[in-house]
Amino acid sequence: MAIAPPRIQPVSAHLHSSASPKDSDHQEKKQVCYTVWMKSLVFNGRGCTVYGQDGRAAYRVDNYACRRSREVFVMDSGGKTLLKLLKKNFGVFKTWQGYSCCNNNNGDAAATMEDQPWFRVQKEYKILKKEGRYNVRAVVEVALSGEVYRIIDGASHKSEYRIVGAGGEVLAEIRRKQTDAGVVLGDDVLTLTVGPTADRLLVVGLVVVCGLLDRCI
């Protein structure tokens, strides 16, 4: 039985115009923090839920009982599809492609399948991973702008990582959530901090892909 989430508008804002398929001139640029719960809102389902600073669901992924799905949808709290993620295998390389559904007024994700992917995420393997004292978990290519981001593992825990730009600037960071009393919660409760220049929906899509690569979703 599904748990009915509150109906709110998605808090996504396309803040980086070169990376987003939508015009972002009128979006307010500020840092935003989310709480990521690596659980589905559907009982016995697989997925994750992203909560805004107001404590209400902003994004969700529900794969129901399906594990290791090759097709995943990122929705707002009301169930409207915002992103479609497709798994592509090119030899030994695992790649996820993200398709934006925001421009489709009918909310039909299938209409975007033949469009150009918004972004591609390719998992990096250990033989290729070392970059200084950090490990590169995956490489992200934003198709519309040609920008390349890297997802870099944190130094302390495998569930922590950063999304960095080509110049090394940190666009977003995810860490295990810590209470006001200083108690660090489990691996499935995380804090996602998105910088003012990053595209929020893109970052959420990358967090979902990381969960899929780590087989958490």
Q: Is 47 left (phi over 0), alpha (psi -120 to 50) or beta?
A: left
Question: pTM to 2 decimals?
Answer: 0.77
Please give the residue range of the domain that contains residue 56.
Answer: 32-101+115-215
Report if residue 15 sits inside a domain: no
Q: What is the pLDDT of residues 70-92, one digit of tens each?
A: 889 999 988 899 999 999 876 66
Inter-residue long-range contacts of 88-94, CB under 8 Å, 24+ positions, other chains counted: 92/125, 93/122, 93/123, 94/122, 94/123, 94/213
E-strand spans in 66-133? 71-76, 81-90, 93-100, 119-123, 130-131
The CATH number of the domain holding residue 63 is 2.40.160.200
Report if residue 68 sits inside a domain: yes
Residues near 205 by beta carbon (within 8 Å), at least 6 away in sequence: 74, 83, 85, 98, 119
Report if residue 19 sits inside a domain: no
Report if residue 86 sits inside a domain: yes
Q: Which residue has the higher pLDDT, 26 or 54?
A: 54
Instruction: Show the tokens assigned to 205.
Output: 């899509």
Domains in the chain, number: 1
CA 214, 17, 119, 129 torsion-angle sign: negative
Report if residue 7 sits inside a domain: no
Contact between residue 40 and residue 57 where contact means Cβ atoms under 8 Å apart:
no
Report if residue 199 sits inside a domain: yes
Report if residue 22 sits inside a domain: no
Q: Using the CB atoms, write b or e for 79-117: b if 16+ within 10 Å.
A: ebbbbbbebeeeeeebbbbbbbbbebeeeebeebeeeeb
Rounded distance between C-alpha atoms, residue 118 and residue 99, angstroms: 5
Residue 5: Cβ within 10 Å count: 18
Asked if residue 10 has pLDDT above 50, the reply is no
Report if residue 106 sits inside a domain: no
Contact between residue 125 and residue 138 where contact means Cβ atoms under 8 Å apart:
no
Q: What is the pLDDT of residues 131-176, one digit of tens each?
A: 555 588 889 999 878 899 999 987 666 788 999 998 889 999 999 9
